Amino acid sequence: MDYALNDEQNMLVETSLALGGEFGPDYWREKDDGGEYPTEFFKAMGKHGFYSLGLPEEHGGTPAGITEIALAMEALCRGGAGGGTCTGLFVWDARSQYYQISRKCGSARRIYA
C-alpha cells in the first residue's frame, strides 16, 4: 500500500503551512492580549478556499475527505497558526459530512438547513 501524498494533497499541505506561517504565535498572542477576535485569519482561510473543503463541486466546494482535512489542520498548526484555530476547520468538516449524508439520504430542504 502506498501512503505517499498525491500532488493535490502536497499542494494543500504547502498552502496550509504558508497560511499558518502568516499567522504565527505573535499574531495570536496579540489577539489574546487584546481580547480580539482573529478576523484576519478566518478571512484568509476563506480566501484560500479552506471552507469549501469537503463540499461537492456542484455547490462550489472542493472534494476532500477526512485525510485532506487532517492534513490541512496539521499543517496549519505546524506552520504556526496553533491548534485552536483549526477547530473551525474541523467543525466545518463535520458540516460538510452532514451535507454528504443529507444529500444521499434526505431532501433538498434538509441539505440546506
What tens digit of pLDDT does each residue of 98-109 get?
555 555 555 555
The whole-chain average pLDDT of the chain stands at 80
In percent, the amount of the chain with pLDDT more than 70 equals 73
Give the pTM: 0.73
DSSP element (H, E) containing 15: helix 7-22
Per-residue pLDDT reduced to its tens digit, 10-35? 999 999 999 999 998 899 899 999 99
Report the pLDDT value the prediction gives residue 62, as an integer from 0 to 100: 82
